[in-house]
């Protein structure tokens, strides 16, 4: 059975304010008293943007932590015997988009979803034990800011965040005990979305690489061909070996940070090889011409961000010496 992420595709219509009947925080761990948001019951929603009413309403904070679905989606979930949620009616006290106000609107429901899978967070081993809760490994409140930043980066880029597949509770819809705030589902839900042609959903394999899914529309659940052709997004490194990518980097002019170019394609591709390109990139920083040095320093910064390679203070200084325009925060 495949496990997938259950996201919205477009962020509009956008639920920017959601008030649930019961909304409070509860302790995620009794040891450190780290809390999580908890809601239950019917909700009132304020919506902005959007040109049509879709089967799922987006929204960050709201949409990410809340699952708002149309009547016909709920009907499907009930017919298929999908488990793991409680559904409550949604009312709309404000709809900012004049276009949306003119259209007839389906009924919507908000789901309360329980935790159902754990993520291995091996990066926590890099934090001294004294700053971690012995029970849940969460960072203690009094921990220094640098560890807070470190964890934020790790979770943001999901560099070392691996789903523990056998920790799955077996429910069809669920959230993580730890890791990114979001929803997950079994393949049954994907099949239902395909069969019924739900709009504005986005599914990815739970273990797909985040930097690959970021610019992908997700598994093509609306395609006629079934099962879908691709379960995972294409990788930026597809089609060339690491040595070929590095050779390309050596021959390309440094494009500057925001320009689409061959060199930029190499920066995107190299993280697929994790730490392997690092020695050659340092050689280029030391021995290359100006373009090569800048390209290599930039590629190292991408590797720092996207796969979490370690940099010593001295190495940070060497990168900044080549790229003095780079914000030092990118190397943290
Ligand atoms: Zn704890």
Q: Given this model, what pLDDT does residue 65 score?
A: 66
Distance 140 CA to ligand 1 centre (A): 8
Are residues 275 and 187 both part of a single domain?
A: no
Please name every residue paired with 58 in a beta bridge, in sequence order, or none if there are none. 14
Same domain as 91, residue 16: yes
Do 44 and 190 lie in a common domain? yes
Separation of 138 CA from ligand 1 center, angstroms? 5
| Whole-number Cα distances in Å, 34 to 22, 164, 169, 190 | 19, 21, 22, 33
The whole-model pTM stands at 0.86
Residue 44 inside a domain? The answer is yes
The Cα–Cα gap between 73 and 57 comes to: 12
Whether residue 221 lies inside any domain: the answer is no
Ligand 1 mean position, distance from CA 136 (Å): 4
Same-domain status, 185 and 268: no
Residue 229 included in any domain: no
pLDDT at 21 over 90: no
| Helices assigned H by DSSP within the chain | 62-65, 71-79, 98-102, 145-157, 187-196, 210-213, 242-251, 262-269, 278-287, 290-307, 313-322
Chain centre to alpha carbon of residue 319 = 28
Residues 273 and 194 in one domain: no
Q: What percent of the chain is predicted at pLDDT more than 90?
A: 65
Q: Does 264 share its domain with 174?
A: no
Which string of DSSP letters, residue by residue, matches 72-112?
Answer: HHHHHHHHTT--SEEEEEEEEEEE--HHHHHS----EEEEE
How far is the C-alpha of 254 from the C-alpha of 24, rounded, in Å? 51
Do 53 and 128 fall within a single domain?
yes
Same domain, 265 and 199: no
Question: pLDDT band at residue 146, thresholds of 50, 70 and 90?
Answer: confident
Residue found under tokens 């015997």: 81
What's the CA-to-centroid distance between 132 and ligand 1, angstroms?
Answer: 8
> pLDDT per residue over 168-180, tens digit each?
999 999 998 877 7
Domain stops at, among 213, 231, 262:
213
228 domain residue, yes or no = no
* 268 and 191 in a common domain: no
CA 67 – ligand 1 centroid, Å: 26
Q: Can you name the residues that pair with 249 across neighbouring β-strands?
A: none
Higher-confidence residue of 319 and 330: namely 319
Q: What share of the chain is helix, strand, coil (3-state, %, to 5)?
A: 35, 25, 40
Q: Is residue 89 part of a domain?
A: yes
Distance from the alpha carbon of residue 146 to the mean position of ligand 1, in angstroms: 19
Angle at 37 between CA 33 and CA 42, to 5 degrees: 145
Q: Please count the structural domains in the chain.
A: 2
Q: Are residues 186 and 40 in the same domain?
A: yes
In a domain, 102, yes or no: yes
**Whole-number pLDDT of residue 32:** 83
Residue-range definition of the domain harbouring residue 269: 242-331
Residues 169, 27 share a domain: yes
98 with 182, same domain: the answer is yes
User: Does 220 fall in a domain?
Assistant: no
From CA 279, how far away is CA 178, in angstroms rounded? 34
């Amino acid at each position: 059975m495949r496990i997938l992420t259950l996201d919205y595709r477009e962020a509009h219509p956008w639920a920017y304010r959601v008030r649930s009947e019961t909304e409070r925080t509860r302790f995620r761990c009794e040891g450190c008293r780290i809390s999580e948001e908890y809601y239950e019951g019917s909700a009132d929603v304020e919506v902005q943007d959007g040109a049509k009413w879709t089967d799922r309403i987006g929204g960050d904070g709201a949409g990410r932590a809340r699952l708002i679905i149309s009547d016909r989606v709920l009907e499907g979930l009930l017919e298929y015997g999908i488990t793991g949620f409680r559904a409550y009616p949604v009312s709309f006290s404000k709809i900012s988009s004049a276009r949306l106000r003119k259209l007839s609107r389906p009924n919507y429901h908000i789901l309360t979803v329980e935790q159902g899978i754990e993520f291995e967070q091996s990066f926590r081993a890099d934090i001294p034990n004294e700053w971690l809760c012995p029970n849940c490994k969460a960072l203690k409140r009094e921990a220094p800011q640098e560890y807070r930043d470190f964890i934020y980066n790790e979770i943001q880029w999901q560099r070392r965040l691996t789903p523990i597949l056998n920790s799955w509770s077996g429910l069809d819809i669920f959230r993580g005990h730890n890791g990114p705030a979001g929803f997950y589902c079994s393949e049954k839900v994907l099949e239902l979305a395909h069969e019924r042609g739900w709009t504005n959903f986005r599914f990815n394999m739970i273990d797909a690489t985040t930097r690959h899914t970021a610019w992908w529309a997700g598994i093509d659940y609306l395609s006629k061909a079934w099962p879908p052709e691709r379960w995972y997004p294409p990788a930026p490194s597809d089609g060339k070996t690491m040595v070929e990518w590095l050779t390309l980097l050596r021959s390309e002019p440094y494009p500057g940070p925001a320009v689409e170019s061959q060199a930029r394609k190499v920066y995107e591709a190299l993280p697929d090889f994790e730490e392997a390109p690092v020695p050659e990139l340092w050689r280029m920083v030391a021995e290359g011409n100006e373009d090569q040095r800048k390209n290599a320093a930039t590629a190292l910064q991408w590797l720092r961000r996207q796969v979490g390679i370690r940099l010593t203070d001295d190495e940070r200084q060497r990168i900044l010496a080549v790229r003095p325009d780079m914000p030092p925060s990118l190397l943290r």
